[in-house]
């Protein structure tokens, strides 16, 4: 069976590549049954149809998958597969958002992929060190770099994390400069670049599909469209503790084990906020992610409970002889 890697994903087809070249590929009908479609970064088996056309027959086991909760229900959406490094890109402009950064870090944790934080547009601010300090307080032992893709500032730090066998992915909101970073690493303008909106500083989508590029310095890079929403999936208490270590430790010092960290008497976290040791923003982000996890657990249990309830009702009908 022929093997290749998915390098582009489109609405109706894929582009796969191996030493033989590139092929435009579709998938077998069996993929529609389990809804487990190939993703950029996947290694696949395919049948050659000639004229650079192919049919994807199967997907090899993934060594990693970056996932998020789909905006349509609670389904898990695979963003990219078989990556070694997640470059979390955040702009030092209106895009700067520590709560969103915490979610990206949690996404990297649950995907078991090493994160690296890139603070782009460092040339647009005077107090770069202050931004780095704020991020390091959230990121703990994660590498943080202030860069400017447009001005070629500190860009070599990115290359230092990519060797010949590395596949890295750029994640971040629209307008943070992912395409500009990609073009710099490729040493050519392959990705379209647009300015952010001047009225609110938000980015306009330029990258519309995920795509792998082979870097001239070695290794591979996946550029992705900006994500307006980022809902984490399958979070656990352990994951949350790793991202919010300080809050987790403080919660153990609360007077009551079921403290709501809001109005409950003797809350160690509220006391720390009042003392200026932690930010109210950090607490809100911590609670929000916990609530999402609990809501997901309830939704996972709900359909099973309803099904069992229906089964009991049917058994009752049969027992009393009133079934149609």
pLDDT recorded at residue 72: 53
Q: Are 131 and 138 in contact (CB under 8 A)?
A: no
* DSSP code at position 125: -
Task: Give percent above pLDDT 70 in the chain.
Answer: 71
Q: Token digits for 73?
A: 């229900």
pLDDT for residue 298 is more than 90: no
Model confidence at 74: pLDDT above 90: no
Q: What is the pLDDT of residue 191?
A: 65
CA 190-195-201 angle, 5° bins = 140
Model pLDDT, residue 60: 96
Helix (H) or strand (E) holding 99: helix 98-111
Contact at 8 Å (CB) between 225 and 179?
no
CA–CA dist 251, 263 (Å, integer): 14
- Among 16-25, 233-242, 280-289, 296-305, the range scoring the smallest mean pLDDT is 233-242
pLDDT of 302 reads 53
Of 137, 131, 88, 107, residue with least CA distance to 247 = 137
The answer on pLDDT for 297 being more than 70 is no
- pLDDT tens by residue, 191-209: 655 554 444 444 444 545 7
| pLDDT, mean of residues 131-138 | 92
Greater model confidence, 277 or 225: 225
Average pLDDT, the chain: 80
Rounded Cα distance, 211 and 42, in Å: 12
pLDDT of res. 260: 82
In the predicted structure, residue 106 carries a pLDDT above the cut 70: yes
pLDDT (average), residues 262-269: 82
Three-state secondary structure string covering 58-123: EECCCCCEEEEECCCCCCEEEEEECCCEEEEEEECCCCCCHHHHHHHHHHHHHHCCEEEEEEECHH
- Give percent of the chain with pLDDT exceeding 90: 47
What is the reported pLDDT for 314?
46
Distance CA 119, CA 90 (A): 5
Closest CA relative to residue 118, chosen from 74, 184, 71, 58? 184
Query: Where are the domains positioned within the chain?
Result: 2-59, 65-223, 237-306
Instruction: Give the pLDDT confidence of 218-258 residue by residue, as tens digits.
Output: 999 999 886 555 555 444 444 444 445 667 778 888 988 88
Instruction: Specify the pLDDT at position 279.
Output: 64
**CATH H-level, domain 65-223: superfamily:** P-loop containing nucleotide triphosphate hydrolases (3.40.50.300)
Mean pLDDT of 113-130: 95
Out of 3.30.465.10, 1.10.3720.10, 3.90.950.10, 1.10.40.50, select the CATH number for domain 237-306: 1.10.40.50
Question: What number is the average pLDDT over the span 252-267?
Answer: 84
Which CATH code for domain 2-59? 2.40.50.140
Stronger pLDDT, 121 or 225, i.e. the higher one: 121
């Amino acid at each position: 069976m022929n093997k290749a890697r998915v390098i582009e994903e489109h609405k109706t087809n894929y582009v796969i590549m191996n030493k033989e070249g590139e092929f435009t590929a579709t998938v077998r009908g069996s993929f529609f049954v389990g809804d487990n479609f190939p993703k950029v970064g996947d290694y696949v088996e395919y049948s050659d149809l000639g004229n650079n056309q192919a049919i994807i027959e199967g997907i090899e086991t993934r060594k990693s998958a970056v996932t998020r909760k789909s905006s349509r229900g609670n389904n898990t959406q695979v963003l990219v597969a078989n990556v070694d490094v997640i470059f979390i890109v955040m702009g030092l402009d209106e895009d700067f958002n520590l709560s969103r950064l915490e979610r990206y870090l949690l996404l990297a944790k649950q995907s078991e992929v090493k994160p690296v934080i890139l603070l782009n547009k460092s040339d647009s601010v005077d107090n770069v060190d202050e931004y780095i300090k704020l991020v390091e307080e959230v990121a703990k032992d994660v590498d943080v770099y202030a860069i400017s893709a447009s001005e070629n500032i500190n860009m070599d730090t990115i290359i230092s994390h990519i060797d010949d066998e590395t596949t890295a992915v750029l994640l971040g909101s629209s307008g943070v400069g992912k395409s500009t970073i990609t073009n710099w690493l490729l040493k050519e303008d392959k990705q379209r670049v647009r300015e952010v909106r001047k009225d609110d500083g938000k980015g306009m989508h330029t990258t519309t599909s995920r795509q792998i590029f082979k870097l001239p310095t070695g290794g591979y890079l996946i550029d992705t469209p900006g994500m307006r929403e980022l809902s984490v999936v399958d979070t656990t208490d352990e994951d949350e503790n790793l991202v919010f270590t300080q809050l987790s430790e403080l919660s153990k010092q609360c007077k009551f084990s079921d403290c709501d960290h809001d109005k409950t008497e003797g809350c160690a976290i509220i006391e720390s906020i009042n003392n200026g040791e932690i930010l109210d923003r950090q607490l809100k982000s911590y609670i929000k992610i916990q609530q999402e996890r609990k809501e997901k657990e309830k939704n996972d249990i709900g359909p099973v409970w309803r099904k069992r309830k229906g089964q009991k009702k049917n058994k009752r009908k049969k027992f009393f002889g009133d079934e149609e």
